[in-house]
Amino acid sequence: ALSCGKPTPVPIKSTLADGLAVPLVGYNAFHTARPLVDKMVVVKEEWIAIAILRLVEMEKCVVEGAGAIGLAAILAGHLPELRNKRVVLILCGGNIDTTILGRCLDRGLTADGRLIKFSVVASDRPGGIAELCRLLADVGVSIKDILHERAWITNDIFSVKVKVVCESRDLEHSKQLMKVLSERYTSVNFGDFMDSQGFRQRLSPSPNHLDVNLLEQGVTKCFLE
């Protein structure tokens, strides 16, 4: 609508920020907001999930995707002109379903490198899976889900493929887990985790990217450095 200079129909896709998913902005709303809008940016879904997670964890605020979009844009580094300035974010909208909130938090943990999914081929002899669980306990991760399968494995008959979802403290803790498992087992796959981290690695090196650890000081008090 801003590009065309008038309300313009756009296709709607599924998004965490469903409050912003408007197929056609109203005529009066458009002409009221147009002179007040300096810039518009596009934010990836992963950053919206991380923003919702940060607000719940650090500010104890339950905010829907549309309400967290401002923080998501800052975390993604789309607003470099705000660097070294005190920033006020309007957290407008807490109308989020409980089940959707749970999905957002899980997706945020995954994008943040704290929810890990991997598969490993372990010994199917007595104590094989128990050894894997002890190894995870020694590293200090928490098992969220575990599944083992035997029928579809192509290794020897005394092997079992174990699929695990676990939670770590942070990204470095997850990397430590990857290192320990790779040293102990010859067949271990972190495919889904590496895909989610590819998203982070593409954005994190940006000089405009905000270190999310700064938000431990409080979202409403942090500075962009």
Q: Is it the case that residue 111 has pLDDT exceeding 50?
A: yes
Query: Domain coordinates of the chain in residue numbers?
Result: 18-108+205-220, 114-189
Side-by-side strand order, sheet with 188-189: 142-149, 159-167, 115-123, 188-189
Q: Which fold has domain 18-108+205-220?
A: Rossmann fold (3.40.50)
Q: Is it the case that residue 180 has pLDDT exceeding 90?
A: yes
Alpha carbon 90 to chain centroid distance? 21
Cα distances (Å, whole numbers) of residue 196 to 21, 163, 202: 25, 17, 10
Domain 18-108+205-220 identical in fold to domain 114-189: no
Q: Is it the case that residue 225 has pLDDT exceeding 60?
A: no
At residue 95, the pLDDT reads 87
Assign domain 114-189 to its CATH architecture.
Answer: 2-Layer Sandwich (3.30)
Q: Give the residue, 219 or 88, on which the prediction is more confident.
A: 88
**Banded model confidence at residue 195, pLDDT cuts 50, 70, 90:** low
Cα distances (Å, whole numbers) of residue 9 to 21, 33, 53, 222: 11, 17, 32, 37
Amino acid sitting at position 173: H
Task: Kindly give the pairing relationship between strand 188-189 and strand 115-123.
Answer: antiparallel
Spatial contact of 174 and 193, defined as CB atoms under 8 Å apart: yes
Mean pLDDT of the chain: 83
To the nearest 10°, report the CA torsion of 153, 157, 158, 163. 10
Neighbours of 109 (CB within 10 A): 20
At residue 94, the pLDDT reads 86
What is the Cα–Cα distance from 147 to 49, expressed in whole angstroms? 26
**Banded model confidence at residue 201, pLDDT cuts 50, 70, 90:** very low
What is the Cα–Cα distance from 45 to 40, expressed in whole angstroms? 16
Q: Please give the radius of gyration of the chain, using alpha carbons only, rounded to the nearest integer.
A: 22
Q: Is it the case that residue 120 has pLDDT exceeding 80?
A: yes
**What tens digit of pLDDT does each residue of 70-100 get?**
999 999 999 999 888 898 998 888 888 888 8
Q: Would you mind telling me the total number of residues written for the chain in this entry?
A: 225
Of 69-78, 161-170, 209-218, where does mean pLDDT reach its minimum?
209-218
Spatial contact of 174 and 46, defined as CB atoms under 8 Å apart: no
Alpha carbon 21 to chain centroid distance? 20
Spatial contact of 147 and 160, defined as CB atoms under 8 Å apart: no
Q: Is it the case that residue 10 has pLDDT exceeding 80?
A: yes
